[in-house]
Amino acid sequence: MAEGDTILRAKHRLADALVGQSIVVSAPNPRGRAAGIERLDGLTLEGIDARGKHLLFDFGDLVLHSHLGMSGGWHVYPPRARWRRPRSAAWAVLAGERAEAVQFGGPTLRVLSAGRVAIDPQLARLGPDILADDLDLDAVVAKFRATDQSRTLGDALLDQHLTAGIGNIFKSEACFAAGIDPWHRLSEVSDDDLRAVLDAAREQMLAAVKFGDRHRFRIYKHRGPCARCRGTVHHRGQGDANRTTWWCERCQA
Ligand SMILES: [Zn+2]
């Protein structure tokens, strides 16, 4: 599952490879052709913006919007390199002078006019990006206070309308780092504790952006006793989507 840290890493990699160049755009898989991405062929890529788990490729008057969901991925290859997946599975190929970027799968790939981005329902409802340089934590806390306070903390952390970018891994990691029970209802979590969890999510995710695959998770999918207190680590599905949450019964009591 691509969370905000994976998307921010992808953004940096894609921007290094392609921004400022005229891009040859093709869609080997019918899904990309259905999205009309060939309209972007020959345009200059002016920048790439990450919002939570969404990527927006700025082609001037047109924007390519991609969301990878559970299954999608962006690969970057040198010219004429062998791809790790078949060409027919590629939804979008963006070829620049030194590299080509390929999107395989994912729930969202579409072209928007630049003017629509600000009013598009899917994008406009996103909460503040947890990894934004200018993140206003108080504004995020206010959003958590404005939602139903009977929701559990772990469930609310995944709600991209409250804050964008936190996924299932960092939901568990953030609550563990802050020492807060993810099963508390929001009504039982103080503003200070909310701030601590959000701060921890941001800190852990920025570390993952920096270290990539070398970043080690401390509670997510942890087997055996808690590495911090030797207490029991539990996991159980949480929220309407039943996404598994991992927590330590002692550290997070
Ligand atoms: Zn523990």
CA 232 – ligand 1 centroid, Å = 7
CA 176 – ligand 1 centroid, Å = 8
d(CA 107, CA 32): 12
CA 250 – ligand 1 centroid, Å = 5
CA 130 – ligand 1 centroid, Å = 26
CA 2 – ligand 1 centroid, Å = 27
d(CA 146, CA 166): 19
CA 233 – ligand 1 centroid, Å = 7
CA 252 – ligand 1 centroid, Å = 7
Task: Enumerate residues 6+ apart whose C-beta is below 8 A from 39.
Answer: 62, 111
Q: Which regions of the chain does DSSP assign to beta strands (E)? A: 24-26, 47-51, 54-59, 62-67, 73-77, 90-95, 100-104, 108-113, 233-238, 243-248
- 101's tokens: 């970027």
CA 172 – ligand 1 centroid, Å = 13
CA 221 – ligand 1 centroid, Å = 14
Tens of pLDDT, residues 222-240: 999 999 999 999 999 999 8
Q: How many other C-beta atoms are found inside a 10 Å radius of the C-beta of residue 16?
A: 12
CA 165 – ligand 1 centroid, Å = 26
Using DSSP's 3-state secondary structure scheme, residue 179 falls into: coil
Amino acid at 139: A
Tens of pLDDT, residues 91-108: 999 999 999 999 998 888
CA 179 – ligand 1 centroid, Å = 9
Burial code of 179-199, b = ≥16 C-beta within 10 A, e = fewer?
A: bbbbbeebeebeeebbbbbbb
CA 242 – ligand 1 centroid, Å = 23
CA 228 – ligand 1 centroid, Å = 5
Burial code of 156-176, b = ≥16 C-beta within 10 A, e = fewer?
A: bbbbbebbbbbbbbbbbbbbb
CA 230 – ligand 1 centroid, Å = 6
CA 19 – ligand 1 centroid, Å = 45
CA 205 – ligand 1 centroid, Å = 21
CA 140 – ligand 1 centroid, Å = 27
Query: What pLDDT score does 215 carry?
Result: 87
pLDDT in tens, the chain (253 residues): 578 998 999 999 999 999 999 999 999 999 999 999 999 999 999 999 999 999 999 999 999 999 988 888 999 999 889 999 999 999 999 999 999 999 998 888 999 999 999 899 989 999 999 999 999 999 999 999 999 999 999 999 999 999 999 999 999 999 999 999 999 999 999 999 999 999 999 999 999 999 888 888 999 999 999 999 999 999 999 998 899 999 999 999 9
d(CA 144, CA 161): 10
Answer whether 79's CB lies under 8 Å from 31's CB: no
